[in-house]
Structure 1
Amino acid sequence: MAGATAVRVASGGDAVRRLYDRIGEFLIDQRLDAHPANYAFAYHLLANPDGPLAKAVRALTDGGVRLTQRDIEGLGCDLQPTHKSEIPDASPADGLVAQTQMQVEGFQDMVLAMRAETEGFGRDLAESAAAISRSATAGGSAAMIGEVAQITGAMLERVRTAEARLEAATREASELREKLEEARDNARRDPLTELPNRRAFEEAYAAQVATGEILCLAICDVDHFKAVNDQFGHAVGDRVLKAIAAALTEACSGQFVARYGGEEFAILFSAMDAETAGAKLDSARITVAAKRYRLRESDAPLGEITFSAGLTAATPSDTFHAAFQRSDRLLYAAKSAGRNCIRVG
């Protein structure tokens, strides 16, 4: 996959040229605009393929998922986007995976430093025991007792230092666990609609189809959504997506509703036949089509907003790809039939 092969470093006599070529390949593979911020991001990524940024990118692109401009903004590197108006406002959780990876490496460094400080502990303890034995044999001379006291005092100080660092490392580990849990949740949630995202949906399908229960999979697509964005702007488009997400969630209560990407939503109906699932989905379609949307700023009518959908029953033998392709074909049949309708098959 593009993401899995993206993070490689050039080596050998022609390393600089090869690195330059890899930067271009990376931008093409990830379908990123060739502006300076993305070039700089790719350089930081590819020049240090084992660094925290590269590890974070591998985590985000696992399974062939491509990076988005929003991902790059979240991962940081002190880069600014060239077309910031085209990028949604970043949430506080953006870049959490990269930040956590960096903290993990910092924790590892702390533990290594602590081990380096305490590596002589066993040796000093053995020397102290031998000194005590010699002191007892020699009748406990003052010089020997002083040596023992010095060794023991240094050893105790080292123990106190190790304990303090271990306490700090334990607190750090606790914080990392919390951040990792948050990162896992954010990696599976769409920040705009707060719905599960594509990765979460595909994982849910795999888990539920394995149970053998009846499943139906629906793919919904907002009709003429590009025209909404072009005419009214992305902020209005975002509000439309949130409204449709709310309508789908309410009408399909108890089912797995996700934003699959762009203006596409996906729904996994569990323990429900296609007829019942279709009725629920059609209820959401009617709700969305009946609402009269207006611009918040001027109260001017936005026009009719509708969505089309394809719904199919999934069998235990269906791979996700097979079920998705059937739903997608039905979705396009709904689009061809005039939009604002559902096709079931």
Structure 2
Amino acid sequence: MGKQSSNRKIAEEVIRFLDKHMLDPTPANYAFAFLYITESNGLLRKLVNDITDGGVRLTQGEVDDMMTNTADGAADDTAAIPSDAMDDIQKQLRHQALTFTELTTAALSDASTFNRDLAEGMEQIAAGFDFAGVISAMRQKTAEVERKLAETKKETEKLRLDLDAARNDASRDALTSLSNRRAMDEKIEEAFRKSARITIAFCDIDHFKSVNDRFGHAVGDRVLKAVADILQTGLAPYPVARFGGEEFVALFPDMAEAEAFGLIEQARVTVSEKFFRLRDTDAPLGQVTFSAGIASTTSNPEQALQDADKALYEAKSSGRNRTIIAS
């Protein structure tokens, strides 16, 4: 699925969501529906699912309350690029595009001027002017053009490197350095095109909110990074992404569910056996665990994501710190 068709599909789902709940198509409601459909804010999605369980429609008041009360959750959800970071990236790209245009225009102008000077020099030689003097002048002009072209090449290479860095930032979770949700969605699409089967695992840290509540977000961030490192190391070379909040997704192309289950279980045990301490006091933080759900598909990656998510919540509701394969 191309990027444009993917964006169009999201837009259509947002509109259907608003129609279903009879919500006015205001910018705030569009933003709310977008966060829900793309699962960019895990807390908001859970609240919506709880309210609408059984086919209940949302009210405008409930939407407004959730947008207000989950603002912090959205800020913590770095799987999607924060708006200020995205603004910076967009500004950088605009600046790079303008700079590249200026460099190209200058190079073309220099080339045009050189061609005109060269034609004039040839006319002077044909008219009997001093041959040596004309050649000397043309050599100087040639050297100047070569210098400017070399500078243009250097600046263009720098712009290319800056653009590559901006693209990398746009696909990377700032806290854990894992891929973010956008990048994982692209990897899932690519794997689905190339593989006969893909298996997906959702992993979610248990009782993570209590870690933040008791010890603060700085400690919570360190826990997130530690779990991310264990998943990335334990599941290599398979890709892992921070999907939202304390939730991670792993992708296993051409792998059966049972084999993926074994890898996830090894990582889960490693996390549960890690002894976490508070950095300032060296006091024990307590056991950290995660729950996981696994599903695979040969025909529908979106359904596999949903099935893995359901299996994750089954693992949560049946006691946590376990992995369940979707039935």
Question: Which TM-score applies when normalising by structure 2?
Answer: 0.68
Shift of 1:255: 2.3
Tell me which of 132, 138, 142 is aligned to 1:159.
Answer: 142
**Which structure 1 residue ranges, 5 or more long, are not aligned?**
6-23, 33-64, 77-94, 136-144
Kindly provide the amino acid, as one letter, of the partner of residue 275 in structure 1.
Answer: A
Richer in helix (by share): 2
Q: Is the 8 A contact 1:188 1:200 kept in 2?
A: yes
Q: Is the 8 A contact 2:80 2:173 kept in 1?
A: no
Matched, 1:72 2:84: yes
Query: Residue 333 of structure 1 aligns with which residue?
Result: 314
- Give me the whole-angstrom Cα distance separating, in 2, the residues matched to 1:215 and 1:67: 23
Tell me which of 5, 29, 32 is aligned to 2:31.
Answer: 29
- Give me the whole-angstrom Cα distance separating, in 1, the residues matched to 2:96 and 2:313: 46
Matched, 1:247 2:230: yes
Query: Residue 14 of structure 1 aligns with which residue?
Result: none
Tell me which of 171, 187, 194 is aligned to 2:177.
Answer: 194
Query: Residue 217 of structure 1 aligns with which residue?
Result: 200
- Give me the whole-angstrom Cα distance separating, in 1, the residues matched to 2:137 and 2:29: 56
Q: After TM superposition, list the pairs within 5 Å mapping 1:41-80 onto structure 2.
A: 68-69=81-82, 71-73=83-85, 75-76=87-88
Q: After TM superposition, list the pairs within 5 Å mapping 1:43-122 onto structure 2.
A: 68-69=81-82, 71-73=83-85, 75-76=87-88, 95=89, 98-99=91-92, 101-122=94-115
Q: After TM superposition, list the pairs within 5 Å mapping 1:115-154 onto structure 2.
A: 115-135=108-128, 145=129
Query: Residue 256 of structure 1 aligns with which residue?
Result: 239
Please give the per-residue CA displacement for 1:166-196, whole angstroms capped at 9, x wherever unaligned: 0101111222333333333333332322222
Please give the per-residue CA displacement for 1:90-125, whole angstroms capped at 9, x wherever unaligned: xxxxx5x74355234223212312333442333333
Kindly provide the amino acid, as one letter, of the partner of residue 127 in structure 2.
Answer: R
Q: Is the 8 A contact 1:100 1:176 kept in 2?
A: no
Shift of 1:128: 3.0
Secondary structure at the counterpart of residue 178 of structure 2 = coil
Q: Is the 8 A contact 1:285 1:340 kept in 2?
A: yes
Shift of 1:240: 0.6
Shift of 1:284: 2.0
Query: Residue 54 of structure 2 aligns with which residue?
Result: none
Query: Residue 270 of structure 1 aligns with which residue?
Result: 253
Q: Is the 8 A contact 1:247 1:288 kept in 2?
A: yes
Q: Number of matched residues?
A: 262
**Which structure 2 residue ranges, 5 or more long, are not aligned?**
1-6, 12-25, 36-77
Shift of 1:165: 1.0
Kindly provide the amino acid, as one letter, of the partner of residue 122 in structure 2.
Answer: A
Q: Is the 8 A contact 2:179 2:242 kept in 1?
A: yes
- Give me the whole-angstrom Cα distance separating, in 1, the residues matched to 2:110 and 2:220: 57
Query: Residue 88 of structure 1 aligns with which residue?
Result: none
Q: Is the 8 A contact 2:121 2:138 kept in 1?
A: no
Q: Is the 8 A contact 1:309 1:341 kept in 2?
A: yes
Q: 1:182 to 1:107 in 2, by over 3 A?
A: same
Whichever of the two has the greater Rg, that structure is 1
Q: Is the 8 A contact 2:208 2:220 kept in 1?
A: yes
Shift of 1:153: 5.7
Kindly provide the amino acid, as one letter, of the partner of residue 31 in structure 2.
Answer: D
- Give me the whole-angstrom Cα distance separating, in 1, the residues matched to 2:127 and 2:217: 82
Q: Larger relative CO (CA 8 A, sep 6+): 1 or 2?
A: 2
